[in-house]
Chain A
Amino acid sequence: MILQIASTIDNLLLSVPFIYNNVDVLPIAVPLLAGALMILFRHRIKFQKYLNLAVSIIILILAFLLITKVIVNGPSAYAVGEFGKYGIVLVADLLSSSMVLLTAFISLMCVIYSYEYIESESLNQSYYALFNLMIAGLNGIFLTGDIFNLYVFFEIMFLASIGLIFANEKLSSTLIEHKFEGAFKYLVLGMIGSTIMLIAIITTYGTIGSLNMADIALKISILNQEGRLPWQIVAAGLLFIIVFGNKAALFPLHYWLPDVHPTAPTPISAMLSGILIKVGVYGILRIVFLIYAPASSYYLPVLMLISLITIVVGAIGAIAQTDLKRMLAYSSISQIGYVFLGLSIGTAGSIAAAFVYMIFHAVAKSMLFLTAGGVIHHAETRDMTKMGGLIKTMPFYSAAFMIGAMSIAGIPPIAGFFSKMYLLKTGLEAGATIAVFIALITAFATIYYMFNSWISIFWGESLKNKRFHSSHEMMLPIAILCVFAILLGILCNPVFEAGDIVASQIIDPELYISTVLKVIPR
């Protein structure tokens, strides 16, 4: 049925050749243009607000059209500047187009939320412009098929997100010193990561002589078949894993995340925890299974060990925290460990499970952060031990937090349960019994810390008697994300089918490579 709807939309889109031909690049081009307009109109706050809303909706529609095109016609490649495979190629397969759709959806929610939440001093400075540049960078990362271009978009996204961390909330409970501390850690680690990434790109280019991902993958697999794989290639892949692992907060590089994500304003925390750490997962999927695929037998056992440590460390950190947003940040670390567990088992089923886990976690965690923003506004503190009894004054937020907590902890009717069960099931089928056992034990810790925080926030002695009147602009995104978290749980079949297709495309990148190499200069 989904295929029928998709083909109908695709046929309709054929009548608009401008959009149909360029739908691969428009998710990058539109936010770049919008970012420039936002800077020029930065003092006209009302106009900026409606323009940004329109742009976000347009990007969502474009991402939707892109994924329908990909579902109907398979992966598509787009040569920027028409230089063929020697220039920059944008490749949209099902993985990247669904990541673009996820980005567009979550960012629309965060944009609606931030009208009411961010103070106007920051809004009329450069908040919207940086937000749009960040979206452009994210879409570029997901769509590009060229490793140097990946580096460029990575930098755009990274620098824009640093600027966004400094945006102020209306009722800020974060000291500016802590903001500086967190942003400084993020900046320094990110810069070191970028330098390492540049070294890896130079190594690969110097050895293989190409920057196109598909071309590199083909050449490396040929070298591997001839039995003379250069040792630098394995090292370059490891450097890439360090960079993306730093972004995704894998174990030895996870310590920056609990400082950065809580100090950012809430919509940006939701973007950081929802989308930006998934950039690391996406990058490692491409690195391990596409570009350096012959060397993946070196990487996967290391990744599995690291992911198990990440799961445990994140869960222990989350149990120990009394700060609401820090607890959520530690929970993000733990959950990203689950995604990497599925990725590192390496069978088609477990990669599909990791993909689905990633999407469900993005929806649930961004909703939890947005809810936490409302709670912090009302309680005027981030300390959970000083909250209590808020269920009387903010019933909507308590329900939303409950649904998010159930999704993260994996309680049946909500989306998170199905992804977690599927992940553990495929792990058992692949024979990784000990890993699944550790993950299962930590899942109980997840249940403990999520519900313990819910109880300490919403139950107990009531400190505030005044009812919290939040605006509709703050409640609407939370409500939409709640509905999605429940609906994805009930109707999870299409997502799992999409996950299976994604996993088969990742395991066997023949289609991807042939699509890219078919592009010719004109």
Chain B
Amino acid sequence: MTTIIAQTISKAVFAICLMYSVNLFIHGANYPGGGFIGGVLLVCGIILIYVTFGINRADKMFKQDWFGWFGFGLLFASIAAIFPMFKNHNYFRSAFNVVHFEFFGISFGELEFASSMMFDVGVYFVVIGGLVFIITQIGKHKYSPPKEKDEKNVSLDRKDNIILPEPKEETEITDNTVSAAEGLQ
């Protein structure tokens, strides 16, 4: 399924996903939708690109630090929550305003802008960054089947869990730890 047909179609689907996720995000203040759903939909589009192009090419296409998106979203959300405190209000206090769009005499309808939407922007980025980071890390992880256990070094007896592995095997085990730490942290 990595033919050129699938790749071209997935690009188109990615555009649809982007558009529709922004739509869901914007009318999420009063209707079904919001930052989380919109983010998940965009993640679907991104993962489609990752599936059809393969992880290396897709990484080169996006050139994004997805974990950084996670941090940025968290920062945005917490700043949006803290900001009312400088205006002598409580944490997470939201204000709203209805904006009427009118260009060249033509009315484009009106949108309700709430300051809690900034929090939603944060959630959007957190969802995108977190989910794509987790999925790409799982994809990058090379699964190696467990080797035959050496009876001398690793014993299943619980009392012996403090025995240090032989120095020859230590490199392998640290390799394993690093990749595991990358995958799980």
Show the binding face of A for B, using Cβ within 8 Å.
17-18, 21-22, 25, 29, 32-33, 35-40, 42, 78-82, 88, 121-122, 125-127, 129-130, 163, 166-168, 172-178, 180, 322-323, 380-383, 386
Is the Cβ of B154 less than 8 Å from the Cβ of A81?
no
Interface membership of B96, Cβ < 8 A: no
Is the Cβ of A166 less than 8 Å from the Cβ of B90?
no
Is the Cβ of A39 less than 8 Å from the Cβ of B70?
yes
**Which of these, B82, B94, B182, contacts A81 with CB under 8 Å?**
B94
Interface membership of B78, Cβ < 8 A: yes
Contacting residues of chain B (51-110) with chain A, CB-CB under 8 angstroms: 67-68, 70-72, 74-75, 77-79, 81-82, 85-86, 88-94
Chain B residues near A386 (CB-CB < 8 A): 162
The docked-state distance in angstroms from the alpha carbon of A386 to that of B82 is 53
Total B residues in contact with A, Cβ cutoff 8 Å: 36
Chain A residues near B75 (CB-CB < 8 A): 33, 36-37, 40
Is the Cβ of A33 less than 8 Å from the Cβ of B185?
no
Chain A residues near B164 (CB-CB < 8 A): 173, 380-381
* Sample of 16 further A-B pairs with CB below 8 A, known A37-B71, A386-B162: A18-B86, A32-B81, A33-B79, A36-B72, A36-B78, A39-B70, A78-B91, A80-B92, A125-B181, A125-B182, A166-B185, A173-B164, A175-B173, A176-B173, A176-B180, A382-B162
CB distance from A86 to the nearest CB of B (A): 14
Is the Cβ of A166 less than 8 Å from the Cβ of B180?
yes
- Name which of A79, A176, A178, A383 has the most chain B CB atoms within 10 A of its CB: A176
Interface membership of B159, Cβ < 8 A: yes
CB distance from A38 to the nearest CB of B (A): 8
Is the Cβ of A39 less than 8 Å from the Cβ of B71?
yes
**Which of these, B72, B78, B86, B185, contacts A29 with CB under 8 Å?**
B78
Is the Cβ of A82 less than 8 Å from the Cβ of B89?
yes
The docked-state distance in angstroms from the alpha carbon of A163 to that of B134 is 13
Interface membership of B4, Cβ < 8 A: no
Interface membership of B184, Cβ < 8 A: yes
**Which of these, A121, A180, A323, A380, contacts B161 with CB under 8 Å?**
A323
The docked-state distance in angstroms from the alpha carbon of A21 to that of B94 is 18
In the A-B complex, the 5 residue pairs with the smallest Cβ-Cβ separation, listed nearest first, are: A39-B71, A36-B75, A36-B74, A81-B92, A382-B162
CB distance from B123 to the nearest CB of A (A): 13
Interface of A is mostly: helix
| A-B pairs with beta carbons under 8 Å apart, 18 shown | A18-B85, A25-B91, A33-B78, A39-B68, A39-B70, A40-B68, A81-B93, A82-B89, A82-B93, A125-B185, A126-B67, A126-B185, A167-B185, A168-B177, A172-B177, A175-B161, A176-B173, A382-B161
**Which of these, B72, B91, B154, contacts A80 with CB under 8 Å?**
B91
CB distance from B54 to the nearest CB of A (A): 25
Q: State whether A122 and B185 are in contact (beta carbons under 8 Å apart), knowing that A33-B79, A40-B75, A80-B92 are contacts in the complex.
A: yes
Show the binding face of B for A, using Cβ within 8 Å.
67-68, 70-72, 74-75, 77-79, 81-82, 85-86, 88-94, 154, 159, 161-162, 164-165, 173, 176-178, 180-182, 184-185
Chain A residues near B85 (CB-CB < 8 A): 18, 21-22
- Nearest A residue to B79 via CB reads A33
Interface of B is mostly: helix
The docked-state distance in angstroms from the alpha carbon of A176 to that of B164 is 11
Chain A residues near B86 (CB-CB < 8 A): 18
**Which of these, A36, A82, A126, A167, contacts B90 with CB under 8 Å?**
A82
**Which of these, B72, B176, B185, contacts A130 with CB under 8 Å?**
B185
The docked-state distance in angstroms from the alpha carbon of A182 to that of B91 is 37
CB distance from A45 to the nearest CB of B (A): 15
Chain A residues near B173 (CB-CB < 8 A): 175-176
CB distance from B15 to the nearest CB of A (A): 29
CB distance from B176 to the nearest CB of A (A): 6
Is the Cβ of B91 less than 8 Å from the Cβ of A22?
yes
CB distance from B89 to the nearest CB of A (A): 7
Is the Cβ of A163 less than 8 Å from the Cβ of B185?
yes
Chain A residues near B182 (CB-CB < 8 A): 125
CB distance from B166 to the nearest CB of A (A): 13
The docked-state distance in angstroms from the alpha carbon of A178 to that of B90 is 45
CB distance from B117 to the nearest CB of A (A): 14
Chain B residues near A163 (CB-CB < 8 A): 184-185
Is the Cβ of B176 less than 8 Å from the Cβ of A176?
yes
- Nearest A residue to B75 via CB reads A36
Chain A residues near B161 (CB-CB < 8 A): 174-175, 178, 323, 382
Is the Cβ of B67 less than 8 Å from the Cβ of A39?
yes
- Nearest B residue to A81 via CB reads B92
Is the Cβ of A33 less than 8 Å from the Cβ of B82?
yes
The docked-state distance in angstroms from the alpha carbon of A80 to that of B82 is 11
The docked-state distance in angstroms from the alpha carbon of A176 to that of B92 is 41
